[in-house]
Amino acid sequence: MRLLNYALPVLATLAVAITYGMPQAAAIDLNSGLLVTTRARLEVCVSALPGSGMSTGDARMLVNDAVTALRNHPRYESSGYANAPASVVAGCPSAPALLDSGQKHEINGGPAQIFTVTSPSDSRTFVFVVAPDDISRMFGNAPYPMSAQESICSGRDCVEVTTAMYISATATSDSAQLRDRLAKGIGLEAAPPQVEPKPTR
């Protein structure tokens, strides 16, 4: 009974805090395709970089069409994306991390790695339309050039919560290819293995 006397006030305090709101910190949410608790909807941002051969406005329209088509994807709803209308916005809130770092691919550096943030952006996926040469330099011939754009750390465990897609203007203009790339970029599908030599032992 004494235990109950203390449990009830604590529960009540929690209920009040939940009802009236506390500052919301970003927490990793592995149950949802949105990846963090601070995202209420699927948002994709689009930036076409100088030299890519496409304007951000044109790229946004094409990506918007692809995202709209992906609403029919069999995993769209179960990924938590159907809870609110998706949004595709022109301009991304940060520059392409991998491109700016000059790195070949991800996983470089330690805890102060280039991708770590404490407040992830609202966009689940950044679409960067870039020159084909930049894609080759960063990803070689990998069929799905993607990288972490933002990671958040819980203790010593750091996980990607925002994906950056690097795509050429040509691929962006190909609706089937763009849809396929976006399905991977927003986490509806896994990117298939890129190089699988037959292992021998």
Partner 1 sequence: MKVSFAITTLLLLLAFSGASARANHQTSPPKHIGSVHSGFNNEGLCADPSNSVLSWTTALSHIEGALWTESRPFDDTWDSQSWDPNALNWRVYFFELGGGNCDWLDATQRSAVDIEYWLWDNTNGGGCISPSSCVNNWTGPYNGGLGHTEYTKVRVNLYAPYTVGTSGQTNYYRHQVNHETGHVLGLADGDGTCPDSVMHSMAYRCSQDRSWPSTNYDVATEVAIAGQ
Sites of contact with partner 1 (CB under 8 A): 2-3, 6-7, 10-11, 14, 30-33, 35, 74-80, 104-108, 110-111, 113, 136-142, 145-148, 151, 153, 156-161, 163, 184, 187-197, 199-201
CB closer to partner 1, 76 vs 92: 76
CB closer to partner 1, 31 vs 119: 31
21 contact partners, CB below 8 Å, separation of at least 6: none
Q: How far is the CB of 118 from partner 1 (least distance, A)?
A: 15
CB closer to partner 1, 57 vs 109: 109
CB closer to partner 1, 75 vs 91: 75
Residue reference for tokens 């990607």: 160
| Residues recorded for the chain | 201
Q: How far is the CB of 58 from partner 1 (least distance, A)?
A: 28
Q: How far is the CB of 110 from partner 1 (least distance, A)?
A: 5
Q: Which amino acid is at 87?
A: S
Separation of alpha carbons 98 and 126, rounded Å: 12
Q: Which two tokens stand for residue 15?
A: 């209920």
Distances 31 to 17, 20, 36, 81, 154 between C-alpha atoms, Å: 23, 25, 9, 12, 16
Nearest CA among 87, 40, 84 for reference residue 68: 87
Separation of alpha carbons 109 and 104, rounded Å: 13
Q: How far is the CB of 59 from partner 1 (least distance, A)?
A: 23
Q: Which two tokens stand for residue 12?
A: 């009540």
Q: How far is the CB of 106 from partner 1 (least distance, A)?
A: 5
Q: How far is the CB of 2 from partner 1 (least distance, A)?
A: 5
CB closer to partner 1, 56 vs 166: 166
CB closer to partner 1, 79 vs 173: 79
- Cβ contact 49:128 at 8 Å: yes
